[in-house]
Structures are given as C-alpha cells and as structure tokens.
A and B are shown apart, each in its own frame.
Chain A
Amino acid sequence: MAGITAYGAYLPRMRLQKQVIADANSWFNPGLKGLAKGEKAICNWDEDAITMAVEAYSDCLGRAPGQALGTLILASTSLPFSDRQNSVIVAEALNLETSGLRTMDITSSQRAGTSGLLAALDASVSGKITVLLASEHRQTKCASREEMLYGDGAVAVAVGSENIIAEFVASHSKAVDFVDHFRGEGKDYDYGWEERWIRDEGYMKIIPATVTALLDETGVNASEIAHFILPTDMARVPAMVAKKLGFNTDAIADNLLQSVGSTGTAQALLLLAHRLENASAGDLVLLLGFGQGCDALLFRVTDKIGSTRPSRGVSGYLERRRAEENYNKYQSFNNLLIKEMGKRSEVNKQAYLSAMYRSRSLTNSFIGGKCKSCQTVQIPRHKYCVNPECGAYDTQEDHPMVGAKGTVQTWTADKLTFDYSPPAYFGLVTFAGGGRLMMDMSEVDPGTFDTGAEVSVHFRIRQIDQEAGFRKYFWKAIQV
C-alpha cells in the first residue's frame, strides 16, 4: 500500500493587489478590469522555485538535518537552472542525507506536479519515503491575462508505505498533444490560445474522458467524491466539469485564484494540501493534473489524517501575508522593466565554482562547526576554535544550524549599497546555542524590527548574474 504520509506548503508573503495591475494597464487592455479581484502571491526578489521548495519541504517535514529519503523530486516549469539539477540544491539546503538519495527534476508541462506524484507513488515500493516538491515562480508579460491570474508558491507531498494519511487507490492518465499554451526554447513567457477553445476542447473533453475511465476502473460513483481538485486559471471550469461528471458542489476545491493565483505545476498539489487540512477519514479525493493530457489520481483519506499537520500549511500561509500595492516593484523583481540599477550593482558577479563547491556546507546547508574540546559553536567552521580560552586546532565537527533561533545583535538599513529592494538590511545575528554571523536580512518590517528581534534563517537568492544566467544562494535572517 502506498499513499501520502505528510504535506506542506509555502506561499511568498508578498501579495500583489490585482487592482494595481489593472490600474496600470487597463488603458491598453480594458479586459483586465474584469480580473482585478483579490490578490496573488508573488516572490520577493530573493525567492525562486528552489527557495520556495525548501520552505515547502520544511513546512511538511521540518528542518531536522539528516532526513533519509529514497527520492526527492522537484516539479516546476520555472526552474532556475536548465542544466544543474535543481533538486540537488534543494536537498543540500535541507541537509538531507544525500548518500543513497535519488533526485530528479520534472518539468515541461503544467501536469508535471501530478506526474511527479505518480512517479513518487511508484518509487514508494522501495520502502523509503519519497518527497515530491512542486514549486513555481511564474513569469508573465506585462498587461497580460496571465499576469492577472498567475501566482507563485510551492508545495511538498511525502509519499510512503507507512503512516499513510491518504491512501492511493488508483490513477488513470491520458496523453494528448493539446497545446493550450506553450513556452518554446529560449522564451521567457507563455504563448496561449483562445480560452473558449481551451475550455470546450480541452478541459471539457480531455478531463471527462480521463476521469470517467478512472471511475469505471475503480467502480467509484462520482457522487462519492468528497474532494474534486481541478487546477486551472479559468474560474468557472471546475464547476462546469463537476456538473458534467456529477460531482457534488461542495466537493469542488477552491482554486485560490483570488488569494494565491494559478501556481502552475504546484497548483494541483497546493489545492490538495489545502483540502487535506480539513479532510475526514474515508473521504475520497480526486486529484487532476492538466497539460498535454490529464492525470487523474484517486486517494482515500485514512484515519491517520489527524496525526500529521503541516507547520503552517496553506491556511497558515494564506494568513501570513503582506499586501503589496507597488506594481513597479513587482515588475522590477520580475525583470519586466529596463531599469537603471546604478553603478553599485555592477560588481563582479562571477561564480567561482571551485570555491563555491568547497564552501557549500556553509552556503548550501548553513553548517557551522562545533569544537569537540569545548563545545563552542561557530559559523563558518574554522581550523581553530574561536573560544579564546580554547583555541584548539582541528577539533570542529559539522554542526547544522538551520533550525537555530537567532537574535539581532546589531543591524542597519543601508541605502547606499546595491539591493533589489532597498534599503539593504543586514546585521550581526547571535544564535541560541552559540555562533554569530554578520548576515543579510530579508522581508524586514521596519515597524517591528530592531535590536533584539528574534530571527530564523532561510535559504534565499544572494546574487543574480543576469549575463551568465547564474544565481548564488545563501541564508538570510527573517524575523520570526
């Protein structure tokens, strides 16, 4: 028996008010006004599919170092690297046991999330936990329908054969080269077709055919489905499909289009994670993925559903929000503007790969050192113990510090140095249990931030080299 054993999510704190997009662009495209309801989750400049995946995993299974999985799968169509396995970066940021770990990125379709879940279920025969992460930092053109509808977010689903909270019953998949939109090689943005055609020839035909096959195979009646999850950016489509197939109205999952937006490969699983928060034992869950065909997966919620909860979950992250009304900032973060960044941004951004490799336990995993002689913790690790009473040579063991709580010792808000979102906050953070580091801060709320503030560390983008197509990551302090 295989099934879902845990789930978690991550939504960026920034929520762009859709009205500001419409206000800026309706002179050009008046049709946007009709979509200007609610808000969408958007990445801060230092977030992407990798950093959000790390957060979603943490929400699902915590940050304890050394977790031994069988496989880690990352699904996304907005991966920062086309050739550098993104899931490996995530694995190192999570301090997973990497010996014996299989990793895989899965992409190229909005259906990658559900296809990844099917692969995870297949992998669970190994007896080890497989975690599927789906994460999306969606890129859209200015003044497009997609800009109004797409949002950013990530989700984590753990799959295994023990302590199952939602048992996998069956699935049916269908492959169809139905091109509702595409993104060709070297292109940043989607190119789509008429919505009515997508609805009538795509959603209303391909999905019913797939679902009907699954229900026939399993002998399940449509009215028995308690959770009908159809990810789409077309608000009315789930209800239309549900009506056609005979699903109950209250089974239709809210697509979160006015609070998060359509999160691409992550959307199906994000909606699943949302529904599981309030699911009951025995509930049947029909999860769909749509894109060049359809995946339909049927789960049955078990009586263990109450035994595991995400740390924050979709609901928690929906509440943990900060309204953003600066459309220009959103455009700036997403390279939608040709913007003067100032000469201070023109520093050498070369990625010295050999040095990066040497220091990746620090940069990827935030591992410090702990002295075997005196137990003093320090970060970075060093040949000599920092404790002046000790000073021992070569006594330090790896000491993962990702979960350590920090306190801001000194700080500033720097308006001179370059930052994508000035002022740049940085300062000296002292960690409970030892160690201190001068480090960048992110998502600072100037109203509550001060010396003594409690912080936790988060994997974020540190520097972006647009020319080389490279980005560096490090850990930043974020107020708890």
Chain B
Amino acid sequence: MASGIRDKVVILGAGCSKFGERWDCEPADLMAEAFEECLTDAGIEKNQIEAAWQSTAIDASSVGPGSMPLSMGLRLPYIPVTRLENYCASGTEAFRAATYAVASGACDIALALGFEKLKDMGYGGLPQRSRGVTNDLYYPNLSAPGMFAQLAAGYQAKYGTDKTDLKRAMAHVSVKSHANGLKNPKAHLQRAITEEQVLRAPMIAEPIGLYDCCGVSDGAACAIVTTPEVAKSLGKDNLISVKALELCTSNGEEGGYEGWDGSHIRTTRIAAKRAYKAAGITNPREQISMTEVHDCFSITEMVTMEDLFLSEDGGGVKDTLDGVFDADGQVPCQIDGGLKCFGHPIGASGLRMLYEMYLQLNGRAGDRQLPDPVFGLTHNLGGFPHQNVVSVAIIGQHGA
C-alpha cells in the first residue's frame, strides 16, 4: 500500500519574479530573478541542488524544446534537468517531480522552476496553437475563452441560473482578485476595478467579457524542496510541508460519452477528493485556510469553488456574491491576485501559487497576510472543460 506524500517533503525556499509585460527580459532573466530569491530564502548554494525540473508550456514562443534553457539559464552544475509540459498544470508538475525525487530518496535537494515568455507574440491573449496534426483537422478553431465560456453555458443550463446573477458573480470574482492584486507588488495588474466596469467590458466569448479573463504575462517562479530532516539540519524551524499532490487527466469520457453535462470540471472533483484524503481533510470549507485556484476565467474560478467542495453544487453564485472567497471571507481565494491579476505565465503559474501559499504559511505575505493559515490549496486546470489535466496540491504547517 502506497504511503503517500504527506509531510515527507518540505519547501526549503521559494522565489518568484515580477509578473507582467517584461518587454526587456529574456526568459533567462526571469528565471534568474526568481531563482536568486529562492536560493537566498533556502539558504543554500547552487551546487547543493542535485536535480531540477523545468516547466514551460509553450516552447515555440519562448525557448524551444529540451531542458537546456533552465540548465544554461542558471548555469546549473551539470545536474539532471528535465523539462515538463502538461498544459496549465506544468508548474505544479515540475513541483511534483521534484517532490517525488526527494520523497523517493533519489536526492536530498531538488529544484522546480517554471517560466513562460508569452509577450513576444505580437497580439494579446494566448498564442494560437496546433493541437496536433490530426486533431487540427476537426477541432474547432477555438480560443481559451471560447472553451471556458461553455462552462457558463453548461452551468446555466443545469441550474437555470439567471444570466444577470451569473454575470454579477463572475464580475465579483474579478473585482475581488483586482482588490487583492493591488496589495501585491509582483502582480501584473495592480489596480482596482468595479463591478460595473466588468459588466460593461467588451465581450470576448459569450458570456466572458474582457475583465473575466486573466492576464497573459511573462514571469518565472520556483521552489526548492528537501526532506524535513535536511531542512532542520540547515537551521529551518518553521517547516512548510507537502500534504497532497494530486493530478487527474481526462480520458475523453466527458467530451465523448453521455453523463457529463458541462456544468463542472470532473477531473477537479476527482483530484480534490484524492487530495483531501491524502491530506486528512474531511471538511474542506472549514479546514482549508486559503486557495489559489486556476482562475483563467472568472467562471472557471466560480465553478472550481464547487468542484473543490468549498461551495455546494449550484451554490457558487451565492457564496461568491456573499464574499465567502474574498480576502476577509471564510476561505479567501487568490489572495495574491490570482491568474487574473498576478498574471499567467503558464509554466510558472502552479509554482507561483505555491509561492504565495508558502509566504502566507510563513507569515511573510506583507499587506495581504492572512491570519494564521494552516492549509493552503493550489489548483491548476490545463486544457478545456471537456478534456483537461487538473492538479490539486495542499501544503501546510509541518505536522498539522
């Protein structure tokens, strides 16, 4: 019987670059910015890192394939480096690989670094990409907002939600994240917006408007992981450990077979259940202190609250409007601004979320510090509502 990952690995250090339109930066500049912070935080030398994982989702528009970009970017000392791509879950995947390497005893100290340079495309939004030679023959000529807008259509159809209520809840998601992002000096977007602004913004993909979409950014984030024993030997006393690291990938059933109604993300529910079990969480709404979820679009965040069992099915609209997930609510969500305002350099995003949870759990989150968090949950959703990969990670005070 597998013994799981809970409390076997701790975060020794974390770092994150400023996210945004970093016109003057090469990917290596962003990597170094995040890594220097991380290394200082960890209190180790570069040559103590025994293995590294690099996460980048869209290689063609940044650095090309392979793991040399990270190894060369940081001038790592000829250690094993592996590149990982798993859509928007890429960052969490790199963290998962590093964590497993440490947990297995293959190495004592490992690095996970994710980055993305998206702002060299010449147009806004994510780049148009191939889905594979054969898939391109019949997949719709889709955009990300177009696919996630359908989550709203499915949700509305299932619950008979009034369109105005839904749009208001979606707007509240974005207004809240902008308010949070205002307190984060590394966030891409640092300005407050009003519900009215969101509702009046140009339509991108019915019913997703401009302010329902997250930022598309350049950035890098990283974490160094080790065992609790090594961390203690390095003088660390407040240990933040990995409680659960779950991944769930669609097998085509949602989009190809009866049953799934388009109102939720099946993989998130499966991954969340596994993660709660692994972390010993029985009542997530009471026990999870805060979340960083994949708010690529406002509707995604709202539905994710239900998929993570933080809201009851069909209760997302009311909970959102009631402020349950606001900074001063019961389970604050995107306290750092989220993808919405911190930004979304795809390969970095999972690690950026973990970075914020780590800061919060260490009491080092500055103006946005939450009182006494115990468990932080991060969630990534890569792909589309009907076929995707989802990661759910829970980190928390060691031994909690």
Q: Which residues in A have some Cβ–Cβ distance to B below 8 Å? A: 342-344, 347-348, 352, 355-356, 358-359, 362-363, 376, 378-380, 382, 386-388, 409-419, 423-424, 426-428, 430, 434-440, 451-452, 462-463, 472, 474-475
Q: Which residue of A lies closest to B262 (CB)?
A: A410
- Are the C-beta atoms of B142 and A426 separated by less than 8 Å? yes
Q: Are A436 and B146 in contact (CB under 8 A)?
A: no
- With A412-B149, A414-B145 given, is the CB distance from A436 to B256 under 8 Å? yes
Residue from A348, A356, A380, A426 within 8 A of B140 (CB atoms): A426
Per the bound structure, the CA–CA distance linking A355 and B132 in Å amounts to 10
Number of interface residues of B (CB under 8 A): 42
- For B262, the chain A residues whose CB sits under 8 A away are 409-410, 428
Interface contact B140-A451, CB-CB below 8 Å? no
Docked complex Cα distance between A438 and B135 (Å) = 11
Q: Is the CB of B253 within 8 A of A386?
A: yes
A436 touches B205 (CB 8 A): no
9 tightest Cβ-Cβ pairs between the two chains A and B: A414-B146, A426-B140, A410-B150, A412-B149, A417-B143, A410-B262, A413-B206, A414-B205, A416-B143
Whether, in the assembled complex, B28 has its beta carbon less than 8 Å from a beta carbon of chain A, the answer is no
Q: CB-CB < 8 A to B133: which residues of A?
A: 352, 355
Min C-beta distance of A304 to chain B, whole Å: 41
B124 smallest CB distance to A (angstroms): 9
B205 near A355: Cβ-Cβ < 8 Å: no
For residue A437, which residues in chain B have a CB less than 8 angstroms away from its CB?
A: 255-256
**B206 contact set on A, CB distance < 8 A:** 412-414, 423
**B154: CB under 8 A from chain A?**
yes
Given A386-B253, A414-B149, are A343 and B122 neighbors across the interface (CB < 8 Å)? Answer: yes
Distance from A41 Cβ to chain B, minimum over Cβ atoms (Å): 26
Which residues of chain A have C-beta atoms less than 8 A from B151's C-beta? 410
A-facing residues in B224-279 (Cβ within 8 Å) = 252-253, 255-258, 261-262
* Residue among A410, A424, A426, A435 with max Cβ neighbours from chain B (10 Å): A410
Q: List residues of chain B with CB within 8 A of the CB of A387.
A: 257
* Shortest Cβ distance from residue A401 to the other chain B in the assembled complex, whole angstroms: 13
In the bound complex, residues from chain A placing their C-beta under 8 Å from that of B202 are: 415
A426 to B145, CA, bound (A): 12
* Chain B CB within 10 A, most for which of A342, A382, A412: A412
- Let me know if B157 and A416 touch, CB within 8 A: no
Question: What is the bound-complex CA distance between A62 and B157, given in angstroms?
Answer: 34
Query: With the chains together, A155 CA to B134 CA distance in Å?
Result: 32
Which one of A359, A376, A416 lies within 8 Å of B125 (CB-CB)? A416
Distance in Å from the Cβ of B210 to the closest Cβ of chain A?
Answer: 10
How far is it, in angstroms, between the C-alpha of A348 and the C-alpha of B202 when the chains are bound? 28
Known: A424-B146, A438-B139, A439-B140. 16 other contacts (CB 8 A): A355-B133, A362-B137, A379-B256, A386-B253, A386-B256, A410-B386, A415-B205, A427-B153, A436-B255, A436-B257, A436-B258, A438-B386, A440-B140, A472-B137, A474-B137, A475-B138
| B residues neighboring A (CB under 8 Å) | 121-123, 125, 128, 130, 133-134, 137-143, 145-147, 149-151, 153-154, 156-157, 202-206, 208, 252-253, 255-258, 261-262, 384-386
A356 to B133 Cα, complex, angstroms: 9
Tell me which residues across on chain B come within 8 A of A428, comparing CB atoms: 150, 255, 262, 386
List of B residues within 8 angstroms of A424 by Cβ: 140-142, 146
Cβ of A203 to closest chain B Cβ, rounded Å: 46
**Chain B residues with CB below 8 A from A355, complex form:** 133-134, 137
- B204 cross-chain contacts in A, Cβ below 8 A: 414-416
Residues of A within 8 A of B252 (CB): 382, 386
B254: shortest Cβ distance to chain A, in Å?
9
Give the distance in Å from the alpha carbon of A379 to the alpha carbon of B137 in the complex: 14
B142 touches A414 (CB 8 A): yes
Q: List 27 A-B contacts (CB under 8 A).
A: A343-B122, A343-B123, A347-B130, A362-B138, A363-B137, A363-B138, A409-B261, A410-B157, A410-B262, A412-B149, A412-B150, A413-B203, A413-B206, A414-B142, A416-B125, A416-B145, A417-B142, A418-B128, A418-B141, A427-B150, A430-B258, A434-B258, A435-B256, A438-B255, A439-B138, A439-B140, A472-B137
> Is A452 touching B157 in the complex (CB atoms < 8 A)?
yes
Which residue on A lies nearest to B385, using beta carbons?
A410
Residues from chain A with Cβ under 8 Å of B203 in the complex: 413, 415
In the complex, the chain A residue whose C-beta lies closest to that of B149 is A412
Q: Is A344 touching B128 in the complex (CB atoms < 8 A)?
A: yes
Give complex CA distance A474, B149 in Å: 23
Q: Do residues A440 and B141 form an inter-chain contact, with CB atoms below 8 A?
A: yes
Q: Are A347 and B128 in touch, CB under 8 angstroms? A: yes
**Nearest CB in chain A: distance from B192 CB, A:** 25
Whether B255 lies near A423 (C-beta < 8 A) is no
A450 CB to nearest chain B CB (Å): 8
A112 CB to nearest B CB, Å: 31
B130 proximity list for chain A (CB < 8 A): 347-348
With A382-B252, A451-B153, A451-B157 as contacts: A462 and B137 at CB distance below 8 Å: yes
B residues near A362, Cβ cutoff 8 Å: 137-138
Known A-B contacts A355-B133, A378-B256; A411 and B150 likewise in contact (beta carbons under 8 Å)? yes
Q: In chain A, what residue has the closest Cβ to B153?
A: A410
In the docked arrangement, what's the CA distance between A457 and B205, Å?
Answer: 23
Q: Which of A359, A430, A434 is in CB contact (< 8 Å) with B134?
A: A359
Contact A412 B153, beta carbon cutoff 8 Å: yes
For the complex, give the distance between the alpha carbons of A355 and B208 in Å: 35
CB <8 Å contact, B153 and A411: yes
> With the chains together, A410 CA to B141 CA distance in Å?
16
A434 CA to B259 CA, complexed, in Å: 11
Residue of B with least CB distance to A354: B133
CB contacts (< 8 Å) of B140 on chain A: these are 424, 426, 438-440
- What separation, in Å, do the CA atoms of A424 and B385 have in the docked complex? 18
Q: Closest residue of chain B to A382, judged by CB?
A: B252
Contact of A409 among B142, B154, B205, B384 (CB under 8 A): B154
Q: How far does the Cβ of B151 sit from chain A's closest Cβ, in whole Å?
A: 7
Q: Which residue of A lies closest to B155 (CB)?
A: A410
Is there contact, CB below 8 Å, between B154 and A426?
Answer: no
A440 CA / B137 CA spacing, docked (Å): 12
- The answer for the CA separation of A423 and B123 in the assembled complex, in Å, is 18
A428 to B384, CA, bound (A): 12
Q: Do the beta carbons of B257 and A376 come within 8 Å of each other? A: yes
CB distance from A185 to the nearest CB of B (A): 31
B138 / chain A contacts, CB cutoff of 8 Å: 359, 362-363, 380, 439, 462, 474-475
Q: Which residues of A contact B134 (CB under 8 A)?
A: 352, 355, 358-359
- Of A342, A343, A414, A463, most B-chain CB atoms within 10 Å: A414
Question: Once bound together, how far apart are the Cα atoms of A400 and B145, in whole Å?
Answer: 32
Q: Which of B146, B208, B253, B258 contacts A426 (CB 8 A)?
A: B146
Chain A, residue nearest B259 (CB)? A388
Q: Write out the residue numbers on chain A whose beta carbons fall within 8 Å of the beta carbon of B123.
A: 342-344
Q: Which residues of B contact A434 (CB under 8 A)?
A: 258
Q: Roughly how many angstroms separate A434 CA and B258 CA in the complex, as a whole number? A: 7
